[in-house]
């Protein structure tokens, strides 16, 4: 990629890595749900609810904190949120009971929103004709953080007390806070002459008045919901079907490397072809994944193939929708991202809650039926609202 005065390769890489490190905080709980249930004597549905409130907290952090990126210097805002996130991780490490841990994991969700301040910042700095590619690289970091967090958590949970995962994460985040302070570019915009509540009140209007934003919000809601349908129940399924523990759930998370490697290529495809095409591919891949889970998920090879397809489908959706959202209006990019990502993680939290309930009621078939419901809604949004054939340039 050609370097510019505002966004070099090193800056893009830094943004990608920091995005992945911080977003990892949200997913530590998924492979160790069984361990937490045992520690606090909780049922599977209750520990599934704990995983859900992490994502729900993140969704509300996106709604109420990320719009601050359109008001304040993003260089400083990112660091403030990292400090708060470190404090939340330390509380989760210390939590002596389920109640305190529930508060801590909710705060982990709320405070881990720096990636969604970084993403529109990258889109703002990127040349318009390379925005999809730049966002693809940064989102590769996001997906890498998600998949490595599951592996990190699952493997460490098999050899250390699960609480230590949160302590180690806090130390890693502190190291990257120092790196961000030293190397992240300062925001040339500085602080804007905007007030918080009037900015927040514009969010529903942005959703209602921008057709492309509505389409992306619905697609992200459904496709991330489908992803979490799998990841919130995989540890239960592995234990019931194969008598395998958290370490295997973590290792299976590494299969998402296919999505990481594909993200820059997906971004190029969005730039050069059509986001409508790539959104369509996201639904095909995710739907096919759950067909495989349902038909041959009782074989390990079926799980492996399905996970690869599902992570590819999720990445097609995420990169395509981010490229659409960040092309709409540079001056309100944080607010547009807030609306999109609130819907995205609201879908993820609903997918987690619905899947854990379906598992307790109907097992693996119930889980696959929940995913099918998300896919139907995504298809309706694709057909009724649709996506732009090309991205807006500036």
Residues 258-274: tens digit of each pLDDT: 777 777 778 778 877 88
**Nearest by Cα to 270 from 126, 373, 384:** 126
pLDDT for 116 beyond 70: yes
**When comparing pLDDT for 210 and 256, which is higher?**
210
Query: 1: pLDDT confidence band, cut at 50, 70 and 90?
Result: very low
pLDDT at 247: 67
Average the pLDDT over 107-124 and give the result: 89
DSSP per-residue letters across 222-290 = HHHHHHHHHHTTHHHHIIIII---HHHHHHHHGGGHHHHHHHHHHHHHHHHS-HHHHHHHHHHHHHHHH
Residues 155-171: pLDDT tens digits?
888 889 999 999 999 99
3: confidence class by pLDDT, cuts 50, 70, 90: very low
Q: Is the pLDDT reported for residue 142 higher than 80?
A: yes
Percentage of the residues of the chain whose pLDDT score is greater than 90: 42
The lowest-confidence range among 65-79, 122-136, 314-328 is 122-136
Q: Which residues, other chains included, contact 158 with Cβ-Cβ below 8 Å and sequence gap of 6+?
A: 245, 246, 247, 250
Token duo for residue 223: 């496709």
**Contacts for 203-209: CB closer than 8 Å, 24+ residues apart:** 203/63, 203/67, 203/335, 203/338, 203/339, 206/332, 206/335, 206/336, 206/339, 207/339
- Can you tell me the mean pLDDT for 106-131? 85
- Global pTM exceeds 0.85: no
Over residues 21-50, the mean pLDDT reads 85
Q: Are 13 and 122 in contact (CB under 8 A)?
A: no
Higher pLDDT residue, 244 or 224? 224
Contact in structure between 144 and 20 (CB atoms under 8 Å): yes
pLDDT tens for 235-261 read: 788 888 887 766 676 677 677 777 777
Q: What is the pLDDT of residues 309-346, one digit of tens each?
A: 998 999 889 889 988 887 887 678 778 888 898 898 88
Least confident of 117-126, 272-281, 289-298: 117-126
Which CATH topology does 9-184+194-384 take? Growth Hormone; Chain: A; (1.20.1250)
3-state SS, residue 41? coil
Q: Report residue 4's pLDDT band, with 50, 70 and 90 as the boundaries.
A: very low
The burial of 383, by beta-carbon neighbours within 10 Å (0-12 exposed, 13-18 middle, 19 or more buried), is given as: exposed
pLDDT digits (tens, 9 = 90+) for 347-358: 988 998 899 899
* 18-32, 35-49, 270-284, 347-361, range with the lowest pLDDT: 35-49
Predicted pLDDT at 5 = 43
Taking 60 as the threshold, does the pLDDT of residue 25 lie above it? yes
Is 152 a residue whose pLDDT tops 90? no
**pLDDT reported for residue 21:** 94
- Give me the count of residues in the chain: 394
Q: How confident is the model at residue 6 (pLDDT cuts 50, 70, 90)?
A: low
Residue 59 confidence class, pLDDT cut points 50, 70, 90:
confident
Token pair in block for residue 145: 């953080």
CB 367 within 8 A of CB 229: yes
pLDDT at residue 313 in the model: 93
Please tell me the predicted confidence (pLDDT) of residue 17: 94
pLDDT at res. 217: 95
């Amino acid at each position: 990629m050609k370097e510019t005065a505002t966004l070099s390769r090193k800056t893009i890489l830094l943004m990608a890595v920091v995005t992945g490190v911080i977003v990892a905080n949200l997913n530590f709980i998924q492979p160790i749900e069984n361990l937490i249930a045992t520690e606090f004597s909780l049922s599977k549905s209750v520990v599934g609810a704990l995983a859900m409130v992490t994502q729900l907290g993140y969704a509300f952090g996106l709604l109420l904190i990320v719009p601050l990126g359109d008001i304040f210097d993003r260089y400083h805002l990112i660091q403030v949120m990292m400090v708060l996130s470190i404090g939340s991780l330390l509380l989760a490490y210390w939590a002596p009971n389920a109640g305190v841990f529930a508060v801590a994991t909710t705060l982990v969700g709320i405070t881990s929103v720096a990636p969604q301040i970084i993403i529109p910042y990258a889109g703002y700095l990127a040349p318009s004709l390379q925005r999809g590619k730049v966002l693809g690289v940064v989102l590769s970091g996001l997906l890498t953080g998600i998949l490595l967090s599951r592996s990190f958590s699952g493997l460490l949970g098999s050899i250390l007390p699960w609480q230590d995962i949160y302590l180690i994460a806090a130390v890693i985040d502190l190291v990257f806070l120092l790196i961000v302070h030293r190397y992240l570019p300062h925001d040339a915009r500085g602080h804007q002459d905007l007030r918080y509540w009037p900015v927040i009140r514009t969010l529903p209007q942005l959703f209602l008045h921008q057709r492309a934003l509505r389409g992306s919000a619905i697609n992200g809601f459904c496709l991330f919901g489908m992803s979490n349908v799998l990841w919130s129940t995989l540890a239960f399924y592995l234990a019931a079907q194969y008598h395998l523990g958290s370490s295997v759930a973590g290792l299976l998370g590494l299969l998402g490397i296919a999505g990481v490697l594909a993200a820059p290529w997906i971004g190029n495809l969005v730039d050069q072809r059509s986001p409508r095409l790539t959104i369509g591919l996201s639904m095909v891949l995710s739907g096919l994944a759950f067909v495989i889970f349902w038909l041959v998920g009782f074989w390990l090879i079926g799980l492996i193939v399905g996970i690869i397809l599902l992570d590819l489908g999720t990445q097609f959706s995420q990169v395509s929708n981010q490229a659409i959202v960040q092309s709409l209006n540079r001056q309100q990019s944080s607010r547009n991202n807030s609306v999109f990502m609130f819907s995205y993680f609201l879908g993820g939290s609903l997918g987690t809650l619905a899947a854990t309930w379906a598992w307790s009621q109907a097992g693996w078939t119930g889980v696959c039926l929940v995913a099918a419901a998300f896919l139907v809604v995504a298809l309706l949004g694709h057909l009724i609202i649709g996506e732009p054939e090309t991205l807006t340039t500036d």
